[in-house]
């Protein structure tokens, strides 16, 4: 790889860093519109039932501004908020508001009032009478009793000869792993503002979302209005992690704004965000690995049950996403995969950073560590014998894994962590026990091979000599805008801040097929930015050649200027000359359709100290090595890895949406839903493998999602190493650890 980049790979702060740290930035919660009213949802307090009656007089008596809307008022069209392309066939089973509530937190209606306090008070005074219905909460029971109406989707894949391979194996290691529903815990709870247009009967939505065109599509469908009546503008994002991927509030806000003719701000608090938005799908996975005594994995069988919650949403997608990752990590000749999604009367599943990867790798990586221990082999060595090599063929049809650097990550990680020394050291005894573990992981780069994956960008030179990039990107806080600035800046050798990159706005952008999800932005959208910039660069070179009458090979770009032979022309001067000649600004429009979907890899090593008296785990160190192709902004990449490790540690040790035996959510706020805290964070060492990837801008590929995957199983493996236990249920809370210490045979 050509590493002589001027801006690529540099840790340049996000363009809005100063605004953010000085508090000047306007988040959606700060936006105000004339005559704006405030809305508060009426959410189900029961788990499953029919709403018999809404008593609203007490609420209406509070203030004359109080208006109540419910399922009686909304269209009863069915939609699926997961659908981001009109062609998608996923089952549609949601309504804006419903009288048939299917989980604790389902939407019955909303209060609209002059201010948020009045709306909140009024919402408390609404009395809902229900007729309760039987509940289904246990995915395993649904499967064992074959309750077909609750089985959402099932898929089986099988390659090779499993029977033979299992017969030939020296050992078969089986584990059953449980992963919980996880809350995204973005600092900013869900909210949006819907503003009715004065000129027509359309609506504008301001929302911190991930896919403006999906919000537009879902609103149009839910309200039966034309797409062109809905304009969606992505606002500054206060954190998403997948939680704001599916439009949760936007259809309701749009309805309320159209109904009242006023701008509506619809906001959730933390409790509502935990119960009433989306969660990481809980997964129960049974896995069986057939291995020879010298560490060749002959075959593997996985049987997964996914709890998709009360609505269908991504029941299909998450099963398929896990399958892909299952086949793209190890080279195993015979492998079967079965995934079944079930509907339960629990909070709804959706995208959550990693989209199935944290679950499937919990299952594979705990099991492979156990496999190593059972055959008495170093778990690094066992993985090295079985990991996929660059460009290796896999049985699963679909895009190539590309320049897959899993083995490089593992070797480098082992060095940095000093695995050999630690693994072979004798450990102290006493109250506090030390353990070491690791985990590998893989993730994708967009939708190529599954869904249409394209974006169109327009890059123009402005009169002030800046470059203006118009595209439907969404900065979720991780630096997308500045990454695009850097990609464009490198092409023209101008400072990244001289590039202006706007974000998602359906009224301005060209169509983008899939938004900010599936780890596609840097790899797919970033490559579009690069190719759009290349196209404009050609246009400028050709035009300069004509204007200055020099051959094209005498024109180059340097330090923010166009260099024509030895003469530096500023971009603004060039703009004038170009405009005089062509009566239009220099601009390039480019549609890029992704051509591949390589895998990214990460390996995490963990050192933990377990307090065997209290069951508390101190994570002392995490080493994370990532195969990123090429970092666009090394600081952003490291930031993603730090944040991803944080999310993984919470997943492994403390985070769980707790649901009681009746289906009521118990973890209603952060005193009961335990985020991993800053002071609990370990020392983190990061290294990047940068070998470049085809079709990635400057060789870059994804990092944001895979960052949240490997730390969790690495920590669980380390805890089991410390204690000699086989804990296979996330999170490994102090209670579960103490139970395992007292009874190491059972989980």
Site residues, other proteins (CB under 8 A): 62-63, 117-118, 120-121, 124, 269, 431, 611, 613-616, 618, 654, 671, 674, 676-677, 679-680, 733-735, 738-739, 742
Closest CB 715 distance from other proteins, rounded Å: 14
Q: Report yes or no: 372 and 379 within 8 Å, Cβ to Cβ.
A: yes
State the sign of the Cα–Cα–Cα–Cα dihedral 327, 332, 335, 339.
negative
φ/ψ of 700, rounded to 5, equals -75, 150
As a whole number of angstroms, the distance between CA 352 and CA 356 comes to 8
Distance in Å, CB of 66 to other proteins, minimum: 12
For other proteins, the closer CB: 558 or 683: 683
In whole angstroms, how close is the CB of 653 to other proteins at the nearest point?
8
CB of 430 to other proteins, least distance (A): 10
**What is the nearest approach in angstroms of other proteins to the Cβ of residue 111?**
11
Whole-number CA gyration radius for the chain: 27
- Type and span of the H or E element at 483: helix 480-492
> Taking the complex as a whole, how short is the minimal distance between the CB of residue 669 and other proteins, in angstroms?
9
Provide the minimum distance between the beta carbon of 664 and other proteins in the complex, in angstroms, as a whole number: 16
Compute the least distance from the CB of residue 735 to other proteins, in Å. Answer: 4
Q: Are 236 and 25 in contact (CB under 8 A)?
A: yes
Contact 69, 112 (CB under 8 A): yes
Give 118 or 335: the residue with its C-beta nearer to other proteins. 118
Q: Which is nearer to other proteins, 91 or 738 (CB)?
A: 738
Instruction: Give the Cα separation of 401 and 44 in Å (integer).
Output: 45
Q: How far is the CB of 112 from other proteins (least distance, A)?
A: 16
* Residue 293 or 666 having the CB closest to other proteins: 666
Helices (H), 173-242: 212-223
Q: Residues 540-571, buried b or exposed e (16+ Cβ, 10 A)?
A: bbebbbebbeeeeeebebeeebbbbeeeebeb
Contact present, 614 and 433 (Cβ < 8 Å): no
Report yes or no: 501 and 471 within 8 Å, Cβ to Cβ. yes
281/667 with CB nearer other proteins: 667
C-beta of 389 vs 618, nearer to other proteins: 618
Least distance CB 620 / other proteins (angstroms): 13
Q: Cβ of residue 180: shortest distance to other proteins, in angstroms?
A: 15
Compare residues 62 and 686 and give the one whose CB is closer to other proteins.
Answer: 62
Closer by beta carbon to other proteins, 539 or else 675: 675
Q: What is the DSSP string of 318-367?
A: HHHHHHHHHHSSB--SEEEEEEEEEE-SSSPB---TTTTHHHHHHHHHHH
Whichever of 269 and 498 has its CB closer to other proteins, that residue is: 269
DSSP β-bridge partners for residue 610: 433, 617
- Helix then strand then coil, in percent of the chain rounded to 5, is 30, 25, 40
Nearer to other proteins, 611 or 687 (CB): 611
The least CB distance from residue 677 to other proteins, in Å, is 5
Let me know: does 723 contact 744? Beta carbons within 8 Å: yes
Q: Which is nearer to other proteins, 676 or 698 (CB)?
A: 676
Q: How far is the CB of 134 from other proteins (least distance, A)?
A: 25
Q: DSSP code of 665? A: B
Region of residue 241 (left: phi > 0; alpha: psi -120 to 50; beta: else): left
Cα-based angle 167, 171, 724 (whole degrees, multiple of 5): 160
Judged by CB, which is closer to other proteins: 2, or 671? 671
Cα separation, 386 vs 407, whole angstroms? 9
Residue closer to other proteins, measured from CB, 87 or 735: 735
- Tell the smallest beta-carbon distance from residue 736 to other proteins (Å): 9
Q: Which is nearer to other proteins, 37 or 219 (by Cβ)?
A: 37
How many residues are there in the chain? 747
Contact of 154 with 340, CB cutoff 8 Å: yes
Q: Report the C-alpha gap between 124 and 104 in whole angstroms.
A: 16
Chain-centroid distance, C-alpha 536: 32
Per DSSP, the residues of 255-306 read HHHHHHSS-EEEE--HHHHHHHS-BBPEEEEEEEEEE-TTS-EEEEEEEEEE
Per-position DSSP letters for 597-627, written without gaps between them: ---EEEEEEEEEEEETTT--EEEEEEEEEEE
Q: How far is the CB of 441 from other proteins (least distance, A)?
A: 25
* Sheet (strand 49-55) strand order: 100-101, 49-55, 127-132
- What is the nearest approach in angstroms of other proteins to the Cβ of residue 613? 4
Nearer Cβ to other proteins (338/739): 739
Between residues 62 and 547, which has the closer beta carbon with respect to other proteins?
62
Looking at the Cβ atoms of 173 and 727, the one nearer to other proteins is 727
CB of 559 to other proteins, least distance (A): 46
Find the angle CA(386)-CA(387)-CA(393) to the nearest 5 degrees: 105
- Strand ordering across the sheet containing 467-470: 499-501, 467-470, 454-461, 587-593
């Amino acid at each position: 790889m050509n590493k002589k980049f001027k801006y690529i790979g540099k840790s340049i702060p996000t363009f809005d860093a100063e605004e953010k740290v000085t508090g000047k930035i306007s988040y959606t919660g700060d936006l105000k519109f004339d005559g704006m009213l405030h809305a508060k949802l009426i959410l189900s307090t029961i788990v499953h039932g029919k709403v018999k009656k809404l008593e609203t007089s007490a609420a209406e008596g509070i203030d004359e501004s109080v208006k109540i809307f419910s399922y009686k008022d909304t269209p009863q069209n069915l939609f699926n908020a997961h659908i981001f392309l009109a062609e998608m066939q996923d089952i549609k089973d949601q309504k804006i508001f419903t009288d048939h509530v299917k989980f604790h937190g389902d939407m019955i209606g909303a209060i609209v009032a002059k201010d948020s306090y009045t709306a909140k008070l009024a919402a408390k005074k609404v009395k809902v009478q229900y007729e309760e219905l039987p509940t289904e909460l246990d995915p395993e029971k649904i499967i064992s009793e074959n309750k077909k109406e609750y089985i959402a989707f099932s898929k089986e894949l099988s390659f090779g000869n499993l029977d033979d391979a299992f017969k030939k194996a020296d050992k078969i290691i089986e584990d059953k792993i449980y992963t919980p529903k996880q809350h995204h815990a973005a600092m900013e709870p869900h909210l949006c503002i819907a503003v009715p247009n004065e000129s027509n009967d359309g609506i504008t939505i301001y929302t911190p979302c991930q896919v403006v065109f999906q919000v537009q599509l879902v609103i149009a469908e839910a309200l039966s209005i034309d797409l062109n009546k809905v304009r969606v503008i992505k606002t500054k994002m206060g954190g998403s992690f997948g939680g704001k991927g599916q439009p949760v509030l936007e259809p309701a806000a749009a309805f309320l704004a159209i109904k009242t003719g006023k701008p509506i701000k619809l906001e959730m608090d933390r409790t509502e965000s935990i119960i009433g938005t989306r969660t990481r799908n809980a997964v129960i996975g049974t896995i069986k690995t057939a291995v020879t005594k010298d560490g060749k994995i002959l075959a593997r069988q996985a049987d997964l049950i996914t709890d998709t919650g009360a609505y269908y949403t991504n029941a299909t997608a998450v099963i398929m996403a896990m399958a892909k990752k299952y086949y793209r990590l190890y080279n195993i000749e015979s492998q079967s995969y079965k995934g079944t999604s079930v509907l339960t009367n629990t909070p709804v599943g959706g995208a959550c950073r990693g989209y199935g990867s944290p679950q499937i790798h919990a299952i594979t990586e705990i099991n492979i560590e156990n496999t190593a221990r059972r055959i008495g082999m170093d778990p690094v060595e066992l993985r090295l014998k079985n990991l996929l090599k660059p460009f290796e063929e896999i049985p699963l049809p679909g895009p190539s894994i590309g320049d897959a650097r899993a083995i490089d990550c593992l070797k480098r990680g082992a060095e940095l962590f000093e695995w050999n020394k630690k693994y072979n050291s004798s450990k102290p005894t006493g109250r506090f026990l030390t353990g070491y573990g690791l985990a590998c992981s893989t993730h994708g780069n967009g939708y190529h091979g599954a869904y249409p994956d394209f974006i169109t960008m327009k890059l123009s030179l402005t009169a002030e000599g800046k470059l203006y990039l118009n595209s439907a990107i969404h900065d979720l806080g991780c630096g997308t805008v500045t990454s695009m600035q850097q990609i464009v800046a490198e092409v023209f050798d101008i400072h990244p801040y001289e590039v202006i990159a706007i974000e998602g706005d359906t009224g301005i952008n060209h169509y983008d097929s899939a938004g900010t999800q599936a780890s596609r932005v840097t790899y797919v959208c970033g490559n579009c930015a690069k190719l759009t910039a290349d196209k404009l660069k050609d246009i400028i070179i050709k035009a300069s050649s004509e204007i200055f009458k020099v051959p094209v090979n005498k024109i180059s770009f340097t330090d923010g200027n166009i260099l024509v032979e030895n003469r530096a022309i500023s971009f603004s001067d060039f703009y004038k000359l170009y405009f005089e000649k062509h009566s239009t600004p220099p601009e390039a429009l480019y549609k890029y359709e992704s051509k591949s979907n390589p895998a990214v890899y990460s390996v995490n090593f963990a050192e933990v100290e377990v307090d065997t008296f209290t069951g508390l785990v101190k994570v002392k160190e995490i080493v994370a090595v990532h195969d990123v192709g090429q970092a666009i902004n090394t600081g952003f990449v490291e930031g993603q890895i730090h944040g991803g490790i944080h999310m993984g540690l919470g997943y492994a040790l403390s985070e769980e949406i707790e649901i009681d035996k009746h289906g009521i959510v118990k973890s209603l706020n952060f005193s009961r839903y335990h985020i991993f805290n800053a002071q609990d964070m370990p020392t983190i060492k990061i290294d990047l493998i940068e070998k470049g990837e085809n079709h990635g801008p400057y060789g870059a590929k994804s990092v944001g999602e895979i960052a949240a995957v490997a730390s969790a199983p690495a920590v669980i493996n380390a805890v089991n190493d410390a204690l000699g236990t086989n804990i296979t249920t996330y999170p490994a809370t102090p209670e579960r650890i103490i139970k395992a210490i007292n009874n190491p045979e059972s989980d």
